[in-house]
Amino acid sequence: MTNTKSILLVDDEEIILDSISWVLKKNNFEVTTAQNGQQAIEILRIRRFDLVVTDLLMAGLDGVAVLKAAKSIHPDIGVIILTGYGDVGSAVRTLQLGADDYLQKPCDVDELMNKARRSFEKQDLVARLRDQNEQLKREITARKSVELKLEESRINLEQQVAERTAALTHTVDELKTALETLLIREKELQEKNRELQDLNTTLSIMLKRRDQERSDIRKEIATETVETVFPLLKKAQTQVTGSARDYMETAQANLLDVFAKHQHDIILINAKLAPRELQIVHYIRQDKSSKEIADLLGLSVRTVESYRENIRKKLRIKNKKKNLKKFLTSLL
């Protein structure tokens, strides 16, 4: 045996106490003796033993009292009961109280050694089982702790997932709302853009129509002026002399200058045509021949032709194959 086992031997017969003690010590056990039950219990309160071997019948406190006290003080301690021939029934009852075994006196030494060793083996087995049980309890406790932490982590994770899901759902709803708003705004903008395009088209048509109407009115006024006012001014001019004649010519020039300031006549303005030349330009546009113009203005055909050549020169088309009437009409 690797560790010396301790035995408390209890008997009120000194000869038995000495003989059994001697045998146990010879087999390398540490032996402490008590001569009665009271002494044994007092010793048990002081220290722990691996085994108690006690006589059943003793004066005062008997073996049953020692058994109960030993199990109360040290629940795992082994107890073997020594009994006489007539007390076997009582010894058997001690097994129900926690005794490991019993042995009749006078006891066989080998049998005592065997029962003691079986008690120690039982204690070792119980100790191992207790250690394994404690280890199992610790493992179970640790596992429960891990499982508890895992459960807490799971609950926390589920809560985080729920919160993130709710946040994402809210964000998605906001994005959907924003997208729907943008689509509505886009449709509104497209509708307004179409309305603006229609309005611009209408305005463009109206402006072109207005410009055309203004141009037509201007042409009509110019035509009426040249056809009605100019002949009168020309006729009046032949009836006056001096400064009055100059006033007449200035009036004709001013009228022609007014009509020449149309945006399409910018080329004529840049050409710096004289009043008479502007007057002839007007008649050319009216598809009047040189003879007709001469008759209207009281000039010779040759003079009108000279004016026409001078007009072509100022318009820089003298040496170009361009019809003067078409060129002047294209400026309208």
Residue by residue, DSSP assigns 135-167 as: HHHHHHHHHHHHHHHHHHHHHHHHHHHHHHHHH
The answer to whether 266 and 201 have CB atoms below 8 angstroms apart is no
Residue 204's region, left for phi above 0, alpha for psi from -120 to 50, else beta, is alpha
- pTM, rounded to two decimals: 0.46
Q: What angle do CA 23, 78, 136 make, to 5 degrees?
A: 135
Give the model confidence (pLDDT) of 105-128 as tens digits: 888 888 989 998 999 898 888 888
Alpha carbons 26 and 19: distance in angstroms, whole number: 11
pLDDT of residue 263: 46
Mean pLDDT of 195-224: 77
Tell me which of 107, 142, 164 is where a domain ends. 107
CATH of residue 10: 3.40.50.2300
Give the model confidence (pLDDT) of 4-28 as tens digits: 899 999 999 999 999 999 999 999 9
Alpha carbons 71 and 51: distance in angstroms, whole number: 11
Percent of the chain with pLDDT over 70: 84
**138 lies in some domain:** no
**133 lies in some domain:** no
**48 lies in some domain:** yes
The answer to whether 50 and 36 have CB atoms below 8 angstroms apart is no
Distances (CA, A) of 23 to 9, 17, 48: 12, 10, 21
Residue 299's region, left for phi above 0, alpha for psi from -120 to 50, else beta, is beta
pLDDT of residue 303: 93
Q: Is the pLDDT of residue 30 over 90?
A: yes
Strands (E), the chain: 6-10, 30-34, 51-55, 78-83, 101-104
Q: Is the pLDDT of residue 1 over 50?
A: no
The least confident of 48-62, 76-90, 130-144, 215-229 is 215-229
Q: Is the pLDDT of residue 246 over 60?
A: no
**92 lies in some domain:** yes
The least confident of 95-104, 144-153, 245-254 is 245-254
CATH of residue 261: 1.10.10
**232 lies in some domain:** no
260 vs 106, residue with greater confidence: 106
pLDDT of residue 266: 61
Tell me which of 58, 86, 107 is where a domain ends. 107
Tell me which of 62, 81, 107 is where a domain ends. 107
**151 lies in some domain:** no
Q: Is the pLDDT of residue 179 over 90?
A: no
The least confident of 58-62, 140-144, 159-163, 255-259 is 255-259
| Domain total of the chain | 2
Q: 78 pLDDT band (50/70/90 cuts)?
A: very high
Strand partners, 324: none
The answer to whether 260 and 269 have CB atoms below 8 angstroms apart is yes
- Could you give the angle at which helices 37-46 and 63-73 cross, rounded to 10 degrees? 10
Distances (CA, A) of 134 to 72, 119, 122, 138, 290: 21, 22, 18, 6, 138
Q: 182 pLDDT band (50/70/90 cuts)?
A: confident
pLDDT of residue 218: 67
**13 lies in some domain:** yes
Give the model confidence (pLDDT) of 46-59 as tens digits: 999 999 999 988 88
**249 lies in some domain:** yes
Give the model confidence (pLDDT) of 290-327 as tens digits: 899 999 888 999 999 999 899 888 888 878 777 887 88
264 vs 224, residue with greater confidence: 224
Domain that holds residue 32: 6-107
Instruction: Return the DSSP state at 287.
Output: T
Q: Does the CA dihedral 237-242-247-249 come out positive or negative?
A: positive
pLDDT of residue 332: 59
Place of tokens 């109360």: 72
The least confident of 83-87, 141-145, 152-156 is 83-87
